[in-house]
A and B are shown apart, each in its own frame.
Chain A
Amino acid sequence: MEVLNYPLEITYIVASILFILGLKGLSHPESARRGMHFAEIGMLLAVVGTLLSGEIVSWEWILSGIVIGSVIGTLMAVFMPMTAMPQRIAISHAFGALAAVLVGINEYVVHTEKAYGIMPALGFEVLFGALTVTGSLMAFGKLQGIIPSAPITYKGQNIVNIGLFFLVLGMFVYLIFFPFDAAIFFTMITISFLIGIFIVMPIGGADMPVVLSLMNSYAGLAAAATGFAINNKVLIIAGSLDGSSGFILSIIMSKAMNRSFANVLFGAVGSPQVDTSKLHEERPINRFTVEDTKFVLEQADRVVIVPGYGMAVAQAQHTVRELSDALEKRGVKVDFAIHPVAGRMPGHMNVLLAEANVSYDQLLEMEVINPTMDTADVCIVIGANDVVNPAARTEKSSPIYGMPIIDVDKAKTVIVMKRSMATGFAGIENPLFYESNTKMLFGDAKNVLQELVAEFKKN
């Protein structure tokens, strides 16, 4: 009964190829923009092809949706500041997943006869879609500061979450055999929405890179499942590209924190019970003034700057670039060392520094820069803490033991810019601050950097 619409199928094949070429372009900043043009053309082809396929009999709601969506999308893209990028990424996963859920519900309530036969795909689609919608909205709320970003935990939380998960799974299996039970279908969706809220609730700000990557992956899986449900191959391909992208990012992020997925989702995230008696032990630290810092930097041949979330909070990326320019003018070689989980999303620091006009070949990955850290004369740590904590290498009892770090302590002098001696997100003491080659420069990162740049401009 279903006759293949050949022109449409060919359009979809071409679109799929263009999507893959588009992502391939992202292997290098030089080819990235051309790649995106491929992907955009692919999307245009797929949409136009669908509109002309003959399946469309009414236009008013399509046009309204496209117009409203384009206006909102454009406004968000043009006016959203780069610093709000993590939130934007989070909410976009919610939109994508919402579309998948609605298409799934439509199949169920309108094309009922057909829907019963495709229940495995349909169930998967609405289940993953629904939990991605609320999970992403929770992540958005935390990043935007609407919801406290600290983990919200209560006793028995994991049991509740796992219980709900099995409940939903049970309903899903039941529906495969008894698909006509609409009450169960909608209860399953409702509980999936709740699960999305509950699984992100206990996850703290510093773990957001993993959450965003996972949501990226889930949104892709929901799209791929939609493809199964409505027998659309380009949806399956695009969905699985998105799914594998999110999956790879999740792996990279988890590895960079030396944590498993399970640990991120169910672990006592961000609330490690550290022995606090040791925290308040009085140990001498070396304080530096802006003048001292300038003096040390003047003697340096190679400076490595390590940015962290603190730089993003202080919005100091432009001032950081000014400092880097001032140093380069004096013949100092400046590199930036980027830890994979620095910030709140994958690639956060890179985007902020690129916005501030830092050349992308100065942004070095942890694995690239670490073997060269002993040749750095000065290493400046700006608003980073856990990602430079040497306890991760040495102290077996530390909650971050085993996490790969940037080996800043191997530089001849380490200057740590920090607001105060407060511990980082994980609440873990950082022995780096007490090393003899570490100098502490207290104050707001942006103010301190501005003073430093002014010092350099004096002569």
Chain B
Amino acid sequence: MTNLVELLYILILAGFVGFEVIKRVTPTLHTPLMSATNAISGISLVGSLVAAGSDHFTSQMLGFVAVTAATINVVGGFLITERMLKMFKRKERK
């Protein structure tokens, strides 16, 4: 039970940090924000890795599909965020 309370603390505090940080994201970058948070939430990869890397066949199968899906998000998400951010340039004007 202490553990659950501990985890709730983390959830709530991280939620507040997220709220404050993301409130300051410029609306111009709202699409990159979505793809970036998506890549970051691909962190479910760590849970999937443990499942895919176990010695239990069912876990391995479920884990394999989960690892694939999460990796698509992590790799694809970061790459496309970079690709978008590269486009946001400031033009030198006289």
Give residues in A with beta carbon < 8 Å to B.
Answer: 15-16, 19-20, 22-24, 26-29, 32-33, 36, 39-40, 43, 46-47, 50-51, 55-59, 61-62, 64-66, 68-70, 72-74, 76-78, 80, 82, 85, 88-89, 92-93, 95-96, 98-100, 102-103, 105-106, 109-110, 212-213, 216, 219-220, 222-224, 226-228, 230-249, 252, 328, 338, 340, 345-348, 350-351, 354-355, 357, 359-363, 365
Contact = CB atoms under 8 A, between A and B. Distances in A.
Contacts of B75: 69-70, 73-74, 77
Interface in B21-64: 21-56, 58-64
Contacts of B28: 29, 338, 347, 350, 354, 360, 363, 365
Interface of B: 3-4, 7, 10-11, 14-15, 17-19, 21-56, 58-91, 93
B10 A69 contact: no
Contacts of A15: 43
Q: Which of A43, A69, A357 has the most CB of B within 10 A?
A: A69
A223 B68 CA distance: 16
Contacts of B85: 29, 32-33, 36
Q: Which of A57, A61, A92 has the most CB of B within 10 A?
A: A61
Which label, helix, strand, loop or mixed, suits the secondary structure of the B interface? helix
Contacts of B77: 73, 77, 92
Contacts of A354: 28, 84, 87-89
Contacts of B54: 57-58, 110
13 contacts: A22-B36, A26-B26, A28-B26, A29-B29, A77-B75, A219-B38, A227-B47, A237-B14, A245-B37, A338-B28, A347-B32, A357-B89, A357-B91
A22 B38 CA distance: 13
B40 to A, nearest CB: 5
Contacts of B42: 43, 95-96, 99
B80 A241 contact: no
A361 B26 contact: no
Contact of A26 (B36, B43, B51, B65): B36
B89 A226 contact: no
A62 B11 CA distance: 28
A299 to B, nearest CB: 22
A55 B50 contact: yes
Given A69-B67, A73-B76, A231-B7, A89 B30 contact: no
Nearest to A348: B31
A248 B72 CA distance: 25
B63 A61 contact: yes
Contacts of A46: 43, 45-46
B26 A102 contact: no
B27 A58 contact: no
A244 B41 CA distance: 12
Contacts of A96: 38, 41-42, 44, 69-70, 73
A65 B63 contact: yes
A222 B48 CA distance: 14
Which label, helix, strand, loop or mixed, suits the secondary structure of the A interface? helix
A237 B40 CA distance: 10
B73 A73 contact: yes
Contacts of B22: 23, 241, 244-245, 248
A354 B59 CA distance: 44
B40 A64 contact: no
Contact of A241 (B37, B48, B58, B69): B37
B52 to A, nearest CB: 4
A77 B10 contact: no
Contact of B31 (A74, A102, A346): A346
A26 B33 contact: yes
A22 B17 CA distance: 13
A345 B31 contact: yes
Contacts of B65: 65, 98, 102
B38 A64 contact: no
Given A73-B76, A98-B65, A350-B31, A62 B49 contact: yes
B44 A65 contact: no
A61 B57 CA distance: 10
A55 B76 contact: no
A99 B19 contact: no
B46 A347 contact: no
B62 A105 contact: yes
B66 A99 contact: yes
A56 B60 CA distance: 11
Nearest to B53: A56
Contacts of B62: 102-103, 105-106
A227 B53 CA distance: 18
Contacts of B49: 47, 50-51, 56, 62
B36 to A, nearest CB: 6
Contacts of A365: 27-28
A128 to B, nearest CB: 12
